[in-house]
Amino acid sequence: MENIHVHKTAIIHSGARISPGVSIGPYSIIEENVSLGDNVRVGSHCVITGQTTIGANCKIYTSAVVGSAPQDKKFSADDNVFLNIGENNVIREFVTINPGTVEGGGKTVIGNNNLLMAYCHIAHDCIVGNNCILANAATLAGHVILEDSAIIGGFSGIHQYCRLGRLCIVGGYSKAVQDVPPFSMVDGHPAKVVNINALGLKRAQFSLEKIRELKKAFRILFHSGLSKTNALERLTKEVAMSPEIEHLIFFVKTTKRGLCS
């Protein structure tokens, strides 16, 4: 196979689709129905299985298991479920990622440019956006949604069906059992809103004016003692509208699990 480098101890199923530039290390197993995009790098002792598609330029490190059956009692080996991983993702040692379930829509989806550090777990039916970071041993239960640029600290657990908003950060060793608002910093057991993610917003090149408006919005939402309905009403009157404020309002209005307090 042209421009494909496979170690002699690796096992590649004849039904796997391997693109140019792929490298597969010692003792790794690539099973049927797997598709590896251009220049994917697979380290040693990895297992990639199921109906799994991995986009170009991803790097998968030693002993990662990608596409193995969901840890769900309702799952059947005959279920037609998928795992779709985008481009330029880094999947470090011993990471595990499961496909979707029939009840959950049939697919787990991971976007582009994400970093999954060692021992992370992404369960069935999760949706991970772009530019997210999961530090070591961070765990997503089933049906979790991460918006773009979310960061989860090491050894933190995210409860099933939770949403994590854009540019939020979850402190290490936290337990998030409700939705994490966009642009927020949360921490604790259970996780609570500490402040806005000021450093993350600066790194994302938010203007000082936008950061000030978000701080004002957070004071109203989380530190005024008002109910959600009254806080949103006050916010719309006192805070200048912007795409970021509108996204925050939409996120708060559409929460199903409630927000980290």
- Helix, strand, coil percentages (3-state) for the chain, rounded to 5, are 15, 30, 55
Q: Catalytic: which of 45, 121, 124, 159?
A: 124
Active site residue 78: no
Q: Is 142 a catalytic residue?
A: yes
Using a 10 angstrom Cβ sphere, with 0-12 exposed, 13-18 middle and 19 or more buried, the burial of residue 2 is exposed
Within 13 A of 32's CA, how many CA atoms are on the CB side? 2
Other C-beta atoms closer than 10 Å to the C-beta of 19 total: 17
Cβ pair 239, 220 in contact under 8 A: yes
Cα 66 from Cα 23, distance rounded (Å) = 16
Q: Which of 125, 148, 179, 187 is catalytic?
A: 125
Find, among 123, 261, 117, the residue nearest to 189 by Cα: 261
Q: Which of 142, 153, 165, 171 is catalytic?
A: 142
Catalytic residue positions, numbered: 124-125, 142
